[in-house]
Chain A
Amino acid sequence: MEFNTQLLYAHDQALLALMIFIIMLGMGASLTVDDFRAVARKPRGVLIGFLSQFGLMPFIAFSLSIILDFHPAFAIALILIGCLPGGTTSNMFTYFSRGSVALSISMTTASTILALLMMPILLNLYTGSFTAQITASMQAEGTGAEFVIPTGNILSSLVLVLVPVAMGMFLRRKSPDWAKTAEDTAGFVAIIVILYLLGTAFIRHGGLFLQTPVEVYLGAIGIGLTGFFFGYWFSRLLGVFPLFQRAISLETGIQNGPVSFAVILLSFQEPVQSQMLWLAILYSTFIVLSSSVITLYFRNKGRFDWDVYRNTVIHNRLFGAEYVTNYPDGFLPGRLVRDPSQGTSPSQKRR
């Protein structure tokens, strides 16, 4: 598909920029310096998360682009999405899916920093054949230019995105009350703006939804779902506790949509920009829906081990750190019994 008109007008772009700013501010407001320290102290979970986020996800994006035979612009966008760090959305979904919010926050924190290093490397690694295709078609049209991934621009837009995050963290230090408000508002703003963009796109270019090939929809929806699936099983095979598993699964599938908008707007030009943006918008929309469904599923499935976890945590909180909860034989399923921490609470080491 080709875009005849511009997808976003100037004021839309301004709105999008504002949204990115508010969301990243909200993200910063939910983080503390302690979160970074926690990552340094307990790197195992974050390391698995890292492998899953920057190892699995870009590869999934690449494979999907090949399998679905994507137009190069869409392929680059999908790979870009695959290489993104996690966002605060994943923390909220992890909370409601009864996963480890601490791990989710740690992973978000770590991946946001590491993205500065990983994104340029991964993009260059996976997009080679697609950029070549674009260059070929541009040269066929006679523009004679060569298409390259604007690594420098991507880096600077990532740094730019980190500015409001730092501001949010500063706000949190100064006024926790304002920080909480910023956090809540951010989620709300994100939904409003995404709906607005979809709505205007619908009105202005109603045909766009019909023009969009089915495989683009499949890619936009599939990348999140595949991420959830592999994130879950990858961490399970590595013997991670259920509530960490749920966090890693969600963190892998849910990427930081606003960062992709920023990178696309600031680093790419037409003719690919509109197409990339369109895919990013579709991804951001569908990921909210699919995460909601997955969260409901996890929430139900994880009920029992979460109850065990909370109960042991509260026993340790009230009866002393030495207290060990001994469940009757047969009460805990095999997986929790074999778990060295017995039921996911790291504080309760069994001798």
Chain B
Amino acid sequence: MNQRISTENLALLFQKAAGRFDSLPAFAIRKSALKWKPVSYHQIYRKGLDLATGLIELGVQQRDHVGLFGDNRFEWILSDYAVILCGAADVPRGGDVTDAELAYIIDHARIQVAFVETVKLQERILRLRGILPDLREIILLDPKGTPQEGVRRLKEVCELGARLRNQGDRRAEERIAGIRPDDLFTLIYTSGTTGQPKGVMLTHSNMISQIKNIPGDHNCNDRLLSVLPIWHIFERFMEMYTISFGGCTYYSSIQTLGEDMRNVEPTFMASAPRLWEKLHEKILKGVKASHPVRQVLFHIAYFLSRQYKVSEYFIANRNLKMSRQPWWKRLALMPFHMVRWAIVLPWYGFFNAAVLERVRLGAGGSLKATISGGGALPIHIDRFFNYVGIPVLEGYGMTETSPVISARSLDNLVVGTVGPPLPGTTIRIADPETGEILYPNDKLAYGGRSMRGEILVQGPQVMKGYYRDEELTRQTIRDGWLRTGDLGIITHNNCLKILGRCKATIVLSSGENVEPEPIEMRLQQSQFIDHCMLVGQDKKFLAALIIPALTEFREAGFAEQSVEELATNPEAHKIILREIHRMTGLSNGFKSYEQIRDFRILPEGFQIGHELTNLYKVKRHEVELKFNHVIWELFSAKSSKNI
């Protein structure tokens, strides 16, 4: 009974889950702190069938693409259920989608039927309708909103389907039977480097393989607290995974997270690194605000726990091994770690029970494990949670791999890595320039472990391709290997460690992907800015390194003779600040996470051959290395200037 349901496709998963878990809650929707509305497996399946039948009646065909635009709410899940149950695939996107993207996606994905969450979104889509002749039906999710002419209420479609089903309509069941394993269940558009979003085609078998292969031991007593955007592949995977063992997903939000953690007492959680950073801050703040004696006790407890865990990791061979350690060194250190482990154990036991348990209670007290993904988790946060006794299972993946490629498990938890690849998944490390396979490679020392290069992936979770873009698909998946664009190495305990990106894309700690090039190009249109480079990989916000245009400043009346002098002039800073606002503000169509929150004027210009290529392209890696201290200082400042 503790086993996950294993089926051929997601519609059958929903069906089997409804049969097996019946009246157990599948989802819980927050009304107030202590009032949540449960939706059982049976209910959601029945309602999903009704809506699916309604959609079929509206003309949705098997393997059609149905738009699903909006953010976290119960109706979103219901629509997702229905689209999958009628054999179609949904095309999700959050409410922050721009008009241009919306029009592009609807046209590119050939969407005829679309769900919109809010009245506002409904108005926007109606305005675009003129250029979208194929869009036949729009359905409004918000039950409190008033649909305009030509827009249907969700309830109306549900009732239509319910009526038909009462009359014996079983077309939904026929559709379920007609789903093939390589049919799409979703088509997720992600922002592309070339400006236009690209549609990632994920199949039923992609997701089913994830459910099957992910490490973890859960059953219907488990509670998942969810704060991720509902349309994000990470969240969708967590949702499907939770359904497979009969757990309940409780939808929370960033604002109410602390309270919800204590009330729901989740047994597991999944989130982007940003949330763990916030939680870390909160715990430390709580410690600082507590009684002085308790503060001292906390620090003793944390110290002991660190000593204990470091030795434990060493003895269990789970310490991070970036390079080969000679056996005699391990042998020499072993007695020290064993003695330390044994001496610390009773003290750790006591302080763990008396002090650290209180810290864990702040997070509900029932967390068996937490999962971090969607960006690199800073190592000190990673260590903090593991030492405090909340194991963090960091995973690695991307939308194109639906999404998990590798993940730490409880019995193979090497802090600092993203764990071994999932069963059935193979990883290669290749030289980004020459394409030479560095791992696995018998000719290299240790089979190619600790060689850095681009990560290539092969496995059942790799996408079918980019929708209607064979060229891009060919570039991304070569000879059956998906090029991730990430740099990594395989450690000597066979775990993957991520080092950075080959591509320019900046992934903020909130999980948002920022393509720096368009923003940089826009900034460089300013007469005062010669060159610039955006930074912020795994950070909370985006920042810019600026090379000012000296000649322009001199013409504007500045007396400085060099960029270095200019960098210290507060007036010059004001001008750059104004320019950043003018060029890349919200009014210019840049999204809020694409806003530059801070900047530094670099003391010297970029030179060809060093920081610039012959074609004046910035070599990001070089700049990052050379101005490492500037970037470090930029992000270690307590608060951004918030420009």
Chain A residue at smallest Cβ distance from B250: A318
Contact of A188 among B22, B23, B28, B350 (CB under 8 A): B350
Closest CB of chain A to B287's CB: distance in Å?
13
Contact of A325 among B20, B24, B28, B354 (CB under 8 A): B24
Counting CB contacts under 8 A, is B331 at the interface?
no
CB-CB < 8 A to A181: which residues of B?
A: 291, 293-294
Counting CB contacts under 8 A, is A323 at the interface?
yes
Counting CB contacts under 8 A, is B459 at the interface?
no
Q: Is the CB of B297 within 8 A of A184?
A: yes
Counting CB contacts under 8 A, is B448 at the interface?
no
- 8 Å CB interface, A86-123 against B: 92, 95-96
CB-CB < 8 A to B117: which residues of A?
A: none
Q: Is the CB of A310 within 8 A of B354?
A: no
Q: Is the CB of B34 within 8 A of A318?
A: yes
Q: Is the CB of B36 within 8 A of A318?
A: yes
Counting CB contacts under 8 A, is B607 at the interface?
no
Q: Is the CB of A308 within 8 A of B293?
A: no
Task: Bits for B261-281, please: 1 = Cβ < 8 Å to A, else 0.
Answer: 001110100000000000000
Counting CB contacts under 8 A, is A205 at the interface?
no
Q: Is the CB of A326 within 8 A of B23?
A: yes
Give Cα distance in the complex from A191 to B350, angstroms. 9
Closest CB of chain A to B38's CB: distance in Å?
5
Contact of A331 among B1, B35, B250, B291 (CB under 8 A): B1
Give Cα distance in the complex from A209 to B563, angstroms. 79
Counting CB contacts under 8 A, is A315 at the interface?
yes
CB-CB < 8 A to B350: which residues of A?
A: 187-188, 191
Counting CB contacts under 8 A, is B481 at the interface?
no
What is the size, in residues, of chain B's interface with A at 8 Å between Cβ atoms? 36
Contact of B35 among A178, A187, A292, A318 (CB under 8 A): A318
Q: Is the CB of A319 within 8 A of B23?
A: no
Closest CB of chain B to A161's CB: distance in Å?
22
Closest CB of chain B to A212's CB: distance in Å?
22
Counting CB contacts under 8 A, is B453 at the interface?
no
Counting CB contacts under 8 A, is A270 at the interface?
no
Contact of A314 among B223, B291, B293, B354 (CB under 8 A): B223
CB-CB < 8 A to A96: which residues of B?
A: 353, 357
Chain B residue at smallest Cβ distance from A319: B38
CB-CB < 8 A to B357: which residues of A?
A: 95-96
Contact of B291 among A180, A191, A318, A328 (CB under 8 A): A180
Q: Is the CB of A308 within 8 A of B221?
A: yes
Q: Is the CB of B220 within 8 A of A328?
A: yes
* Contact A314:B264 (CB < 8 A) given known A178-B291, A323-B38, A328-B20: yes
Contact of A311 among B223, B293, B353 (CB under 8 A): B223
CB-CB < 8 A to A317: which residues of B?
A: 34, 263
Q: Is the CB of B291 within 8 A of A177?
A: yes
- 8 Å CB interface, B598-624 against A: none
Give Cα distance in the complex from A308 to B1, angstroms. 14
Q: Is the CB of B221 within 8 A of A307?
A: yes
Contact of B366 among A92, A185, A310, A320 (CB under 8 A): A310
Q: Is the CB of B291 within 8 A of A92?
A: no
Q: Is the CB of B353 within 8 A of A92?
A: yes
CB-CB < 8 A to A330: which residues of B?
A: 1
Closest CB of chain A to B308's CB: distance in Å?
15
Chain A residue at smallest Cβ distance from B347: A191
Give Cα distance in the complex from A322 to B371, angstroms. 33
Task: Bits for B250-267, please: 1 = Cβ < 8 Å to A, else 0.
Answer: 100000000000011101
Q: Is the CB of A319 within 8 A of B221?
A: no
Give Cα distance in the complex from A191 to B23, angstroms. 49
CB-CB < 8 A to B220: which residues of A?
A: 327-328, 331
Closest CB of chain A to B83's CB: distance in Å?
27
CB-CB < 8 A to A323: which residues of B?
A: 38
Give Cα distance in the complex from A130 to B36, angstroms. 64
Q: Is the CB of A184 within 8 A of B1?
A: no
Give Cα distance in the complex from A307 to B368, angstroms. 11
Q: How large is the interface on A (under 10, 10 to 19, 20 to 34, 35 or more residues)?
A: 20 to 34
Give Cα distance in the complex from A323 to B34, angstroms. 14
Give Cα distance in the complex from A96 to B219, angstroms. 22
- 8 Å CB interface, A280-323 against B: 292, 304, 307-308, 310-311, 314-315, 317-320, 323
Contact of B22 among A185, A187, A292, A326 (CB under 8 A): A326
Give Cα distance in the complex from A89 to B20, angstroms. 43
Q: Is the CB of B354 within 8 A of A184?
A: yes
Task: Bits for A174-190, please: 1 = Cβ < 8 Å to B, else 0.
Answer: 00011011001101100
CB-CB < 8 A to A308: which residues of B?
A: 221
Q: Is the CB of A318 within 8 A of B264?
A: yes
Chain B residue at smallest Cβ distance from A187: B354
Give Cα distance in the complex from A311 to B247, angstroms. 10
CB-CB < 8 A to B246: which residues of A?
A: 328
Counting CB contacts under 8 A, is B21 at the interface?
yes
Closest CB of chain B to A79's CB: distance in Å?
30
Q: Is the CB of A319 within 8 A of B28?
A: yes
Give Cα distance in the complex from A323 to B23, angstroms. 11
Counting CB contacts under 8 A, is B192 at the interface?
no
Give Cα distance in the complex from A188 to B293, angstroms. 12
CB-CB < 8 A to B265: which residues of A?
A: 310, 314
CB-CB < 8 A to B222: which residues of A?
A: 307
- 8 Å CB interface, A126-158 against B: none
CB-CB < 8 A to B223: which residues of A?
A: 311, 314
Give Cα distance in the complex from A325 to B354, angstroms. 33
Closest CB of chain A to B528's CB: distance in Å?
55
- 8 Å CB interface, B347-402 against A: 349-350, 353-355, 357, 366
* Contact A328:B21 (CB < 8 A) given known A184-B354, A307-B221, A318-B263: yes
Q: Is the CB of B22 within 8 A of A328?
A: yes
Closest CB of chain B to A186's CB: distance in Å?
10
CB-CB < 8 A to A177: which residues of B?
A: 290-291
Q: Is the CB of A311 within 8 A of B221?
A: yes
Q: Is the CB of A180 within 8 A of B294?
A: yes
* Contact A319:B36 (CB < 8 A) given known A184-B354, A328-B24: yes
Closest CB of chain B to A288's CB: distance in Å?
9
CB-CB < 8 A to B221: which residues of A?
A: 304, 307-308, 310-311
Chain A residue at smallest Cβ distance from B31: A318
Give Cα distance in the complex from A187 to B291, angstroms. 17
- 8 Å CB interface, A174-220 against B: 177-178, 180-181, 184-185, 187-188, 191
- Give the interface of A toward B (CB within 8 A): 92, 95-96, 177-178, 180-181, 184-185, 187-188, 191, 292, 304, 307-308, 310-311, 314-315, 317-320, 323, 325-328, 330-331
Given contact pairs A96-B353, A184-B355, a sample of 16 additional A-B residue pairs in the complex whose CB atoms are under 8 Å apart: A92-B354, A96-B357, A181-B291, A181-B294, A184-B297, A185-B293, A187-B354, A188-B297, A307-B267, A311-B223, A314-B223, A314-B263, A314-B265, A315-B38, A319-B36, A325-B24
8 A-B pairs, CB-CB below 8 angstroms? A181-B291, A184-B294, A184-B354, A304-B221, A314-B223, A318-B28, A318-B35, A325-B24
The 3 closest A-B pairs by CB, nearest first: A307-B221, A318-B36, A311-B221
